[in-house]
Amino acid sequence: MPELPEVQTTATSLQPLLNQTVEKVSVFQPKLRWAVPDDLVSLIDYQLVDIERRAKYLILTFKRKGGAAQKKLLIHLGMSGSLQQHSVGFDKRKHDHVILTFNDGKKLTQLHYHDPRRFGMLLWLDDYEDKLITHLGVEPLSEDFSADYLYHHIHNRKKPIERPIKSVIMAQEIVVGVGNIYATESLFLSKIHPLTPAHLIRHEQLTTLVAHIRQVLQTSIEKGGSTLKDFTVADGQTGYFQQTLLVYGHKGGDCPSCGTTIENVKINQRASTFCPTCQPLITQKKP
Ligand SMILES: [Zn+2]
């Protein structure tokens, strides 16, 4: 599944289309997770003026050439989606559901939305902002995400959060884009057991955890930049940086740090691998 790093890589890969004008809109299959809007064709003659990533969403802003009218397109790649650029005349492949053709004044470029499993979406942001975007937590690579922020979230309430730290850092309303891989790896690097009740984690451990979450995501974004086509093959698996994963997917293997056998526990139905030696479970506050 495309995760935050792949979506960030996609956002970066779209930069050459900035300031280009939409020449043609072709919708071959509107039935994605939600239907592609009927009036997507109204993007014709609009210029792409901004590309943002928010969580795992791409937000493309278009402006009417020479006018003030603006349209914002919200794209999510779902389980298996990708956006690929081809020179004009490239044949539509199976599962290319939408093609936007851009004109830079000299040449045309086709942007293909490809999605075998069709869990993705292309929607007008205005129609779905409240439903999909407004409630999202902070971006993990922004300055808003800090140990203070996490500590505040865990403790500044009637009853501190006692559920496992792993489920806290994966909660989209707290911080977005920390998928299972990144949560598992960063907890290992921080020597924190994934089941540790969140309120028992000290502020300095949260500092370490935040730093590792950023590091793991950043490393993955850097790798994603050079292997984009691997995930566009997309059968629902992101496999391309698994060789660099320390514990994720390594149940029964040896801990790369101490050699202890890596164990697995399910948290919120998700596999959570950890090293029982490097990540001892704390269940009580230290006196
Ligand atoms: Zn270990």
Structure tokens at 246: 């320390």
Q: Which residue has the higher pLDDT, 259 or 231?
A: 259
CA of 239 to the centre of ligand 1 (A): 23
Q: Is the same domain home to 95 and 14? A: yes
100 occurs within a structural domain: yes
284 occurs within a structural domain: no
28 occurs within a structural domain: yes
Q: Is the same domain home to 171 and 95? A: no
Residue 224 pLDDT: 67
pLDDT at 239 over 80: no
Boundary (domain end) residue, out of 105, 133, 161: 133
Give the β-pairing of 121-124 and 70-76.
antiparallel
Neighbours of 98 (CB within 10 A): 22
287 occurs within a structural domain: no
CA of 247 to the centre of ligand 1 (A): 10
CA of 264 to the centre of ligand 1 (A): 13
CA of 249 to the centre of ligand 1 (A): 15
Q: Which residue has the higher pLDDT, 228 or 37?
A: 37
81 occurs within a structural domain: yes
Q: Is the same domain home to 21 and 128? A: yes
Q: Is the same domain home to 20 and 115? A: yes
List CB contacts of 236: < 8 A, sequence separation 6 or more.
1, 79, 80, 117
**Residue found by looking up tokens 């139905």 in the block:** 269
List the catalytic residue out of 5, 53, 56, 164: 56
Q: Is the same domain home to 61 and 111? A: yes
Q: Per-residue confidence at 229, pLDDT binned at 50, 70, 90? A: very low
Closest CA to 4 of 170, 253, 204, 242: 170
CA of 88 to the centre of ligand 1 (A): 52
Q: Is the same domain home to 168 and 118? A: no
List the catalytic residue out of 139, 256, 270, 276: 270
CATH number of the structural domain spanning residue 27: 3.20.190.10
CA 9/CA 82 separation, integer angstroms: 11
Q: Is the same domain home to 154 and 122? A: no
2 part of the active site? yes
pTM (2 d.p.): 0.89
Q: Is the same domain home to 192 and 85? A: no
Residue 91 pLDDT: 86
Q: Which residue has the higher pLDDT, 1 or 111?
A: 111
CATH number of the structural domain spanning residue 257: 1.10.8.50
Query: How close are the terminal C-alpha atoms of the chain, in Å?
Result: 43
56 part of the active site? yes
Structure tokens at 209: 């955890």
CA 221/CA 199 separation, integer angstroms: 30
CA 177/CA 162 separation, integer angstroms: 22
Boundary (domain end) residue, out of 90, 109, 133: 133
139 part of the active site? no
281 occurs within a structural domain: no
Q: Is the same domain home to 85 and 188? A: no
Domain that holds residue 172: 147-274
pLDDT at 235 over 50: no
Q: Which residue has the higher pLDDT, 8 or 230?
A: 8
Q: Is the same domain home to 152 and 66? A: no
3 part of the active site? yes
CA of 281 to the centre of ligand 1 (A): 13
Q: Is the same domain home to 167 and 263? A: yes
Boundary (domain end) residue, out of 79, 100, 133: 133
Q: Is the same domain home to 128 and 161? A: no
Residue 32 is classified by DSSP as S
> Could you give the number of structural domains in the chain?
2
Q: Per-residue confidence at 237, pLDDT binned at 50, 70, 90? A: very low
**Residue found by looking up tokens 């086509």 in the block:** 229
282 occurs within a structural domain: no
246 occurs within a structural domain: yes
Q: What are 11-43's pLDDT values in tens digits?
A: 999 999 999 999 999 999 999 999 999 999 999
CA 248/CA 203 separation, integer angstroms: 25
Please report, to the nearest 10 degrees, the dihedral formed by the alpha carbons of residues 179, 185, 191, 195 taken in order.
40
List CB contacts of 46: < 8 A, sequence separation 6 or more.
21, 22, 62, 63, 64, 65, 69, 71
